[in-house]
Amino acid sequence: MRNVRLLALPLASLLACSDPIEPLPAQIETFDPPGTAGGTRLQAQYVESAAGGPRRFLQMIDRESGDPCWLTRWANEETTVLCRPKASGMVVYLDPACTTPYLETNAEVGQWASAFGVVRVGPRLDPQPTERYLEFSPGQCASMPEAPWDPVHEISEEIVDLPTGRIIDDASDTHILVRNFQGDDGSHVLYQLADRLAQVQCLPKETPAGSRCAPDTSFEMHDEGFLDIDCERLAVLEYGDNRVGIVPERANEVYRFEIPARAQDPFMGRRELSGECTVEQQNTGRKTLHIGTPYPDRDWPVLEARVSADEALSARIATTPQGERAEPEPDRGHLGFFEANGEPCSPVWIEGLLRCAPAIPEVYRSYEFFYADRACSERLVVMGQGELPAFVTVHETSTPRSAYALPTGAVYQLGEEAQDTRYRRNVYGDCELDNINRRQRYYRLGAKQEKERYPELRLVYK
């Protein structure tokens, strides 16, 4: 459905803002293409602007448990899929014979949690154990030296009745393979998008070339001077089968790679200073030969995308070649669900309300917990190499523990760089000095930002 309405903002509301705001478009459009829908057991959860504007798919909810679940293939089957609880835990034992299983988890009592199977979380042990054991294989039980990361609970029961369905492939487009989950309860959700040329999964992304289905380009493939036997294409020896990656020695250019038929010691070319192409046999060991071709974003599969916006938020919503939402379940931390004032933002619980807080840029290592003091009370923000954000969303824990598996946190201005010593908690929970050179940068927290600064969101269901 496509709705168009005119927007008029009073001048006073603009002047009340302390920061400059880009002028909003004269026309506000709501673009809500068909796509994910729930059934009798699974429910599709969306997040949208509290003003009723742009909407994005968030996750599936199991009506039986009331909690989010994620789609995963069953055993080695290609098409049978279960929706397992997102809450998880680790099965531990309290005796050296590994007699009675317990669950170490941050899930709440009564929740379903994924472990080896799926179980209901029972009462929390009181007092908490100081020693526990892990069964590495049948009959092989060993003590775990570190302190528990999460509380240890009894296991109330094993859950065997999980939502199920199958993967249905739509290969009608020559560039993109669309893989849909069709639930046995009638639910429907996009499971995966795949780039048929590069033979990898891909996700919607805005690039300088336009809307594309982008492969994961985080893997590094290094140019060590080898070429194919015709000295025309890059050749790389690397572990595994890596179909796409960046080549740091070639200005981080993206390449797609073909995997030739495996040979014990393949022949590879090398270009001499004279320009001559010489061929020699290489001992690969356990590595695999990859033959690379430049793969710029203009060659990635094209997606159609349109802007949906209201007074507070905007979102560019991509669609599949079949006209449905191109929204597999997203990475909620690093992917900007929406844009607010031209900056990407994602849902975070701030003081009990769901807000669109600044998304986590790649340079920000939000999962790293370091501190500036011996008591591990003054949090530091950890950054890699790259351009620094002005504001950072700081999560309370490294894994979401609040409603619907969404993070809880607050937004701070990025403070000054911490040049002195730093601390972190060890596996026993004690605060200790960290003197390892991690090639990271550490910053103090600046001023805490008011939650009203960030647009309010709400959860809706289909």
Q: Are residues 209 and 229 both part of a single domain?
A: no
Q: What is the mean pLDDT of residues 271-278?
A: 94
Residues 6+ apart with CB under 8 A from 234: 223, 226, 227, 228, 247, 250, 255, 291, 292, 293
How many secondary structure helices (H) and strands (E) does the chain include? 1, 37
Q: Are residues 349 and 456 both part of a single domain?
A: yes
Asked, for residue 221, whether it belongs to a domain, the answer is yes
Least confident of 279-288, 428-437, 445-454: 428-437
Phi-psi region of 337 (alpha: psi -120 to 50; beta: other; left: phi over 0): alpha
Last residue of a domain, one of 114, 133, 159: 159
Please check the confidence at residue 88 and state whether its pLDDT lies above 60. yes
- The answer to whether residues 81 and 72 touch, using CB atoms and an 8 Å cutoff, is yes
| Residue pLDDT, tens place only, 294-346 | 999 999 999 999 888 898 999 988 999 988 888 887 654 446 789 998 889 99
Q: Structural domain tally of the chain? A: 5
Asked, for residue 311, whether it belongs to a domain, the answer is no
Q: Are residues 391 and 404 both part of a single domain?
A: yes
- Looking at the DSSP assignment, which residues form a beta bridge with residue 17? none
Asked, for residue 453, whether it belongs to a domain, the answer is yes
- The answer to whether residues 254 and 217 touch, using CB atoms and an 8 Å cutoff, is yes
Residue with tokens 């033959």: 291
Asked, for residue 314, whether it belongs to a domain, the answer is no
Task: Report the residue count for the chain.
Answer: 462
Highest mean pLDDT among 17-21, 30-34, 105-109, 394-398: 105-109
Asked, for residue 439, whether it belongs to a domain, the answer is yes
Asked, for residue 77, whether it belongs to a domain, the answer is no
Q: Are residues 380 and 347 both part of a single domain?
A: yes
Q: Are residues 203 and 290 both part of a single domain?
A: no
- The answer to whether residues 153 and 124 touch, using CB atoms and an 8 Å cutoff, is yes
Q: How far apart are CA 180 and CA 153, in angstroms?
A: 36
**Closest to 112 measured CA to CA, from 157, 73, 82:** 157
Q: How far is CA 408 from CA 114, 149, 327, 363, 400, in A?
A: 22, 19, 23, 20, 7
Q: Are residues 285 and 222 both part of a single domain?
A: yes
- Res 256: pLDDT: 97
Asked, for residue 326, whether it belongs to a domain, the answer is no
Q: Are residues 238 and 262 both part of a single domain?
A: yes
Q: Are residues 12 and 91 both part of a single domain?
A: no
| Residue pLDDT, tens place only, 213-241 | 999 888 999 999 999 999 999 999 999 99
| Residue pLDDT, tens place only, 22-65 | 333 434 556 667 778 899 999 999 999 998 889 999 999 999 99
Q: Are residues 143 and 261 both part of a single domain?
A: no
* DSSP 3-state percent helix, strand, coil across the chain (nearest 5): 5, 50, 45
Asked, for residue 175, whether it belongs to a domain, the answer is yes
- Res 21: pLDDT: 31
Q: Are residues 195 and 229 both part of a single domain?
A: no
Tell me if the pTM is above 0.85: no
Last residue of a domain, one of 250, 280, 299: 299
Q: Are residues 192 and 256 both part of a single domain?
A: no
Q: Are residues 225 and 259 both part of a single domain?
A: yes
Q: Give residue 209's domain range.
A: 169-214
**Element of type H or E holding 41:** none
